[in-house]
Amino acid sequence: MNAVRRLGVMCAVAALALDQGSKAVVLTTSAFANGVEVLPFINLLRGQNSGVAFGIFGGAPWWALALLALSIVGALFVWLWRAQNRLTAVALGLLIGGALGNALDRLRHGAVTDFLDFHLGAYHWPTFNMADVAIVSGTALILFHGFCKPQEQRYAESEKG
C-alpha cells in the first residue's frame, strides 16, 4: 500500500476509533442522559437519531440507512485507492471513518448515538457526534482542495475532458 493510501486508512481508523470511543463513554455514563454543561454554549447530552442529518428520513428502516452508508463507504474507498495526494487521502479517510462510525451505530443500536449539544440561549443546534465532525471536516477539506487548485491545473483538467 502506498503512503497516500496508508495515510487515508490511518485517518479512517482514527476517526472511527475516536467516534466509537466517545460514544462508548456517553452510553455508559448515566449523567449524560440528563445532560452535562461543559461550557455556557456546549452540553453533553445523550440522544438517538434514527434518521440522517437533522433527523431527515427518520421513518426509514435502520437497515436501509446502514446499507446506504456502507455503499457510500465502498465508493469512498475506491476514490481513496485512486487518490494522488495527501489532502484528498486525509479528507476521504475522515469521511470513511465517520460514515463507518454512524453505520456501526445503526447496525448495533438501530440508531446513531449523538451527544454534542451546541446552543445559543434557547436555540439548540441539532445534537451530533464525532463521526459527524469527521464527515463535515472531510467534506470541508475536499471542497477546500477543489477551490484551491492552481488556475493552470484547473484549466488543464477542463481541457482533458
- Looking at the annotation, which residues are catalytic? 114, 132
CA-nearest of 57, 36, 56, 54 to 45 is: 36
SS (H, E, C) 50-105: CCCHHHCCCCCCHHHHHHHHHHHHHHHHHHHHHCCCHHHHHHHHHHHHHHHHHHHH
Residues 133-137: contacts with CB under 8 Å, at least 24 apart: 133/98, 134/15, 134/18, 134/19, 134/94, 134/95, 134/97, 134/98, 134/101, 135/94, 135/95, 135/98, 135/99, 135/102, 137/91, 137/94
